Amino acid sequence: MKGSQRVSRLRELKKSGEKIASLTAYDASFARLLEKAGIDFVLVGDSLGMVLQGEADTLKVSMEDMIYHTRLVSRGLQQTLLVADMPCNSYTDSVQALNNARRLINEGGAHMVKLEGGSEILDQVKSLCQNGVAVCGHLGLQPQSVHKYGGYKVQGRNEEDAGRILADAIALEHAGVDMIVLECIPRLLAAKISVALSIPTIGIGAGVDCDGQILVMYDVIGLSGYIPKMANDFLQQGGSISTAVSNYITAVKNGTFPTSAQSFD
């Protein structure tokens, strides 16, 4: 299946009402396991800075780090859409964004790249899309801007911020993005954005009404050291890692994950 076909399949899932299940992966072994379980897409997240490298945030992850881990994951996938994060300071202008996105695709094997931000990155997004690069947006809590937010805090709780996030989501769709990750925003806002867009919304701490869900793989199997509010340790239910992944996918597909306990008001 070609990359464009993998991307269009996500739109088909949204249109049909079937939830989209995604997880992060950082190597070939986990990638193979996720594909076998039937995951809809895999994200090589810059979260690797925290869960693999032991950093307090994602800010020190480099392009070389992302290319290396994307290449490893690509070797474990045959049919599944592969999305890779653009790390901090790798898309400060349109030329840099395009050059680095092409590296993730050509050297890493990614089918799509993910960028954090809204109106401030529209020029970069438009340049990528006009040059045939599939793009995933990321709104709400943006880990690469954690110092700006003063920590990992829920975004969009007041009317002004909620309106800005909605406007950014619409602007990103108009600029050409193929889907948007919504992180740590109130579930009612996420539901409103999901209805307003024709492209899929993928939630993490954004409620069950998003078109799909994503989690850090290490949270799903309890390896992160703690379980964030928006996550769940599916390995606690017993069985193997592959069973935990299958249980996560089933829970996303049937709408039993996330619960209100894993969402924000």
The pLDDT confidence band at residue 250, using thresholds 50, 70 and 90, is very high
Give pLDDT tens digits for 228-240.
Answer: 999 999 998 878 9
**What mean pLDDT is predicted for residues 112-131?**
97
Asked if 154 contacts 141 with a C-beta cutoff of 8 angstroms, the reply is: yes
Crossing angle of helices 187-196 and 159-175, rounded to 10°: 30
Please state the domain extents for the chain.
3-262
Q: Give the contacts of 221 (CB within 8 A, at least 6 positions apart).
A: 233, 234, 235, 241, 244
Give pLDDT tens digits for 10-68.
Answer: 999 999 999 999 999 999 999 999 999 999 999 999 999 999 999 999 999 999 999 99
SS3 202: strand
**What mean pLDDT is predicted for residues 230-254?**
94
- pLDDT tops 80 at residue 259: yes
Fold entry, domain 3-262: TIM Barrel (3.20.20)
**What mean pLDDT is predicted for residues 104-113?**
98
Of 60, 95, 73, 94, nearest to 28 by C-alpha is 73
Locate tokens 């690797």: which residue? 48
pLDDT of residue 65: 98
| DSSP code per residue over 32-75 | HHHHHHT-SEEEE-TTHHHHTT--SSSTT--HHHHHHHHHHHHH
Measure CA of the first residue to CA of the last residue in the chain; give whole Å. Answer: 39
- Which residues on neighbouring strands pair with residue 182, listed in sequence order? 139, 203
Q: What is the mean pLDDT of the chain?
A: 95
Residues known to be catalytic: 183
Of 128, 126, 112, nearest to 172 by C-alpha is 126
pTM over the 0.85 mark:
yes
pLDDT of residue 112: 98
The pLDDT confidence band at residue 149, using thresholds 50, 70 and 90, is low
- pLDDT tops 80 at residue 1: no
